[in-house]
Structure 1
């Protein structure tokens, strides 16, 4: 690869604008040949990516690349009124998202509504005071994977405030999507409940306002992963009693036995969300079985919910109700 292009890409997490590359002395012909030969990937007109970074990136990391690529072009110019919004704003902070699309979502601060296409969705304008500059992920939000460390370089980007972005996700994509992001944002200190409550009370969110209010009401930092959030919301939708999150269980002598994802206290039932469908480390498997045996010896029933179960609500309901019956019969 051209060393100048490599330097630009390396300083910006593997993504650059065409204008940046041309301004560094690379000709349009050279740039076109680099793309044709597979040394670069063109995501859209004006957005160039290092193919190695693109291939290594997880789906949510690809969204960061798209968002940064857009804002490294004219949309991110100092005098531009464009700012990232919705999950595109959250992606810069490594806040997990669920049930959203791949388009880069933006708003304007000049009162105008821009054009949308297959790459970018432009929404109703917002006031300038609702926009700030966002850079690398804050402590506690990183999901270090294939490309994450590389993506945390580059200049800060204009984006709406996290509290507004969370409500935008809820209003546009639904309660479950909003909760997945809101739970993490609260847990990591990116937003406070007061900020969410103040934002939902002052913003017009159209047909999605009810979804946004529901997210603010039910957001809980006790859920420690997107899977736990989705499981918790499903338990609520199914009409089950409200469990205690991250409950500590001790034996009759006060000895610590374990911390569990969900505890239905009255029903003596524990629900664990299995993010890992199978255990590959035998020692981990043995320790987990011993822990589960100890919980059952105290009269609890233990129910495990997997990612696949979340797509089958009736299966989840049957498992939990079965746990209630087992505990009652113990």
Structure 2
């Protein structure tokens, strides 16, 4: 079955307990026609299954905003709203809470009510006819994306400033923005806006809490303007909200991420690759090196160790999955890439390639780089 031509709207039951719509939606959920995103907020079940994994956290955030219009979204959810690409889809919707009782992760729950496993298998098969239905797929897809509550950073907590001409919390409140959700593949979220913290605030509040590859990928994107505002960010921009950093350790981790960042990285996979290359002890490569091929055309190489005559390419799936947007089939894209690689080799360079699976297992990337003869400063200890 192909995806629906029109996106499916989020359905909201009345808060009135006597409203029959809630009962109707509940029956449709038990029948496997709807999924329950939040109490009283539903979506067509097939639209949920067909939605890309990256979009489901945004759908869940939209449902939360419909139930709690004054909710303030933060951290990874806010980063998605600001247009950043993360290394993996968030498993929770991040929101601000005013008291400790509401902090932490909420438990995962099924969104399918009493729907039978056979019905869920049929939905998965209809959305992905070529894939084999597995129990873990059902659990993963039909498991809720619950809230994860965080208290306001210390200097911005409402209870901590009761005097002074201009409390810091006024500045925080003035910085909040309402961001309309982007157009999604299968869910109609038009007209829904989410209240979110400023971009620089969110980065400083999040980067130091992440593993180094994820942190550097975010700073790379910030410096390159790969976010909603489309403007290159500077260290001075970040420092306007420096008080959000809670400790010397947080400042140190943010500093290291900034020092490793490079605006020339074109996607999170390239950022991840560069951090692993650094951690494995190899010489830092030049990025996006411009080469003039024998036919006069220009090629840009992701990673270059010119002194060793080695060109490195990160093979992300998107260049092939999005081939249709350039008027090509995936097979044509693969062939074009092979011809490009052959042309680079004719210039005298050795071309090495790796993909996401190599980044998930640094030993694989280490073997690729080492066997190619990439120069290194030290040998890292891989645990």
- What is the TM-score with the length of structure 1 in the denominator? 0.77
- The yes-or-no answer on 1:14 pairing with 2:9 is yes
CA distance in 1, matches of 2:21, 2:319: 52
Match of 2:67 in 1: 73
Displacement of 1:318 in angstroms is: 2.8
Displacement of 1:130 in angstroms is: 3.8
Distance 1:19 1:177, change over 3 A: farther
Displacement of 1:191 in angstroms is: 5.9
CA distance in 2, matches of 1:164, 1:151: 29
Number of aligned residue pairs: 299
Match of 1:4 in 2: none
CA distance in 2, matches of 1:201, 1:302: 42
- Does the Cα contact within 8 Å between 1:85 and 1:165 map onto a contact in 2? yes
- Does the Cα contact within 8 Å between 2:181 and 2:194 map onto a contact in 1? no
- The yes-or-no answer on 1:238 pairing with 2:227 is no
CA distance in 2, matches of 1:134, 1:325: 45
Displacement of 1:162 in angstroms is: 1.9
Say which SS state the counterpart of residue 180 (structure 1) adopts. helix
Displacement of 1:115 in angstroms is: 0.4
CA distance in 1, matches of 2:220, 2:14: 38
Match of 2:359 in 1: 310
- What is the TM-score with the length of structure 2 in the denominator? 0.67
Distance 1:193 1:159, change over 3 A: same
Written as runs of structure 1 = structure 2, the 5 A alignment for 1:272-287 is: 272-276=313-317, 281-287=330-336
- Does the Cα contact within 8 Å between 1:35 and 1:42 map onto a contact in 2? yes
Written as runs of structure 1 = structure 2, the 5 A alignment for 1:58-137 is: 58-74=52-68, 76=69, 80=70, 82-99=71-88, 101-108=90-97, 112-113=99-100, 115-116=102-103, 117-118=106-107, 119-125=146-152, 126=156, 127-137=172-182
Deviates more, 1:260-269 or 1:187-196: 187-196
Match of 2:42 in 1: 48
Deviations 1:62-117 (A, max 9, x none): 1001111111113x2xxx3x310111112224421125641111124xx6456042
- Does the Cα contact within 8 Å between 1:85 and 1:105 map onto a contact in 2? yes
CA distance in 2, matches of 1:69, 1:92: 14
Displacement of 1:192 in angstroms is: 1.2
Match of 1:6 in 2: none
Distance 1:72 1:325, change over 3 A: closer
Match of 1:229 in 2: 271
Match of 1:168 in 2: 205
Distance 1:165 1:283, change over 3 A: same
Distance 1:228 1:133, change over 3 A: same
Match of 1:178 in 2: 215
Q: Which has the higher contact order (CA 8 A, sep 6+)?
A: 2
Match of 2:167 in 1: none
Deviations 1:217-269 (A, max 9, x none): 33333222222121121112222222222111125x89344111111222221
CA distance in 2, matches of 1:216, 1:278: 27
CA distance in 2, matches of 1:239, 1:55: 42
Say which SS state the counterpart of residue 68 (structure 1) adopts. helix
**Unmatched tracts of structure 2, length 5 or more:** 1-5, 108-145, 157-171, 321-328, 376-383
Distance 1:71 1:274, change over 3 A: same
**Unmatched tracts of structure 1, length 5 or more:** 1-8
Displacement of 1:136 in angstroms is: 3.4
RMSD (Å), alpha carbons: 3.3
CA distance in 1, matches of 2:188, 2:258: 30
Displacement of 1:55 in angstroms is: 1.2
